[in-house]
Amino acid sequence: MSEPVPYVFTRNLKTLPSADVLVAGGGMAGFSAACAAAKQGAKVLLLEQFADLGGVATTAGTAAFCGETTGQGEVFDSVIRELERLDAIAAYKPYIDCEARSFDHEVLKMVLQEAALAAGVDILFHTRLVDADASNGRIETAVLHNKSGLQAVHARTVIDATGEADLAHRAGFATVKGRDGDGAQLPMALNFFLREAARVVQQELPAAPAAPGGKLEAFANADELPMVSVWPQDDGKVGIKLKVTGRDATDGRSLSEAEIDARRMMWRVVHFLQRHKLRKFELSRHRFDYLSPIIGIREGRRVLGEYVLNVDDLRAGRQFDDAVALGVFYLDCMDPATPKKAYLIDWEQRHVPPYHVPFRALRPKGSRNLLVAGRCFSADQLALSSARVMTTASMMGQAAGIAAAWCARDGSELEAVYARKLRAELETRGARLEPKPGMTPVN
Ligand SMILES: Cc1cc2nc3c(=O)[nH]c(=O)nc-3n(C[C@H](O)[C@H](O)[C@H](O)COP(=O)(O)OP(=O)(O)OC[C@H]3O[C@@H](n4cnc5c(N)ncnc54)[C@H](O)[C@@H]3O)c2cc1C
Show which of 271, 291, 311 is a domain's final residue.
291
Mutate to test the pocket of ligand 1, among 46, 130, 146, 162 (most ligand atoms within 8 A of CB): 162
Residues having CB within 6 Å of any atom of ligand 1: 24-30, 47-50, 55-57, 62, 64-66, 100, 128-129, 161-164, 166, 189, 241, 296-298, 374-375, 388-390, 393
Ligand 1 centroid–CA 55 distance in Å is 5
Atom of ligand 1 nearest to the CA of 167: 41
Do 225 and 287 fall into the same domain?
Answer: yes
Question: Does residue 235 belong to any structural domain of this protein?
Answer: yes
Atom of ligand 1 nearest to the CA of 374: 26
Atom of ligand 1 nearest to the CA of 31: 25
Do 255 and 306 fall into the same domain?
Answer: no
Do 40 and 99 fall into the same domain?
Answer: yes
Ligand 1 centroid–CA 183 distance in Å is 20
Ligand 1 centroid–CA 222 distance in Å is 30
Ligand 1 centroid–CA 162 distance in Å is 8
Ligand 1 centroid–CA 161 distance in Å is 9
Atom of ligand 1 nearest to the CA of 127: 43
Ligand 1 centroid–CA 200 distance in Å is 34
Atom of ligand 1 nearest to the CA of 188: 53
Quick one: pLDDT at residue 4?
A: 83
Do 44 and 105 fall into the same domain?
Answer: yes
Report the CATH number that the domain containing residue 29 is assigned in CATH: 3.50.50.60
Question: Does residue 225 belong to any structural domain of this protein?
Answer: yes
Quick one: pLDDT at residue 1?
A: 62
Atom of ligand 1 nearest to the CA of 130: 41
Long-range contacts of 171-174 (CB under 8 A, 24+ apart): 171/132, 171/133, 171/134, 171/139, 171/370, 172/134, 173/134, 173/303, 173/304, 173/364, 173/365, 173/366, 173/367, 173/370, 174/303, 174/304, 174/364, 174/365
Q: What is the DSSP letter of 431?
A: B
pLDDT in tens, the chain (443 residues): 678 899 999 999 999 999 999 999 999 999 999 999 999 999 999 999 999 999 999 999 999 999 999 999 999 999 999 999 999 999 999 998 888 999 999 999 999 999 999 999 999 999 999 999 999 999 999 999 999 999 999 999 999 999 999 999 999 999 999 999 999 999 999 999 999 998 877 889 999 999 999 999 999 999 999 999 999 987 889 999 999 999 999 999 999 999 999 999 999 999 999 999 999 999 999 999 999 999 999 999 999 999 999 999 999 999 999 999 999 999 999 999 999 999 999 988 999 999 999 999 999 999 999 999 999 999 999 999 999 999 999 999 999 999 999 999 999 999 899 999 999 999 999 999 999 877 765 44
Q: How many domains does the chain have?
A: 2
Quick one: pLDDT at residue 443?
A: 44
Element (H, E) at 37: helix 28-39
Quick one: pLDDT at residue 322?
A: 96
Show which of 259, 291, 323 is a domain's final residue.
291
Ligand 1 centroid–CA 16 distance in Å is 27
Question: Does residue 433 belong to any structural domain of this protein?
Answer: no
* Among 138, 140, 135, residue whose Cα is nearest residue 415: 138
Domain that holds residue 352: 14-180+299-428
Show which of 291, 325, 343 is a domain's final residue.
291
What pTM value is reported for the model?
A: 0.97
Atom of ligand 1 nearest to the CA of 166: 41
Do 205 and 164 fall into the same domain?
Answer: no
Quick one: pLDDT at residue 3?
A: 82
Q: Which protein residue's CA is at the shortest distance from atom 14 of ligand 1?
A: 389
Backbone angles phi, psi at 406, to 5 degrees: -65, -45
**Calpha distance 277→362 (Å, rounded):** 46
Quick one: pLDDT at residue 65?
A: 97
Do 21 and 155 fall into the same domain?
Answer: yes
**Calpha distance 403→434 (Å, rounded):** 20
Ligand 1 centroid–CA 83 distance in Å is 19
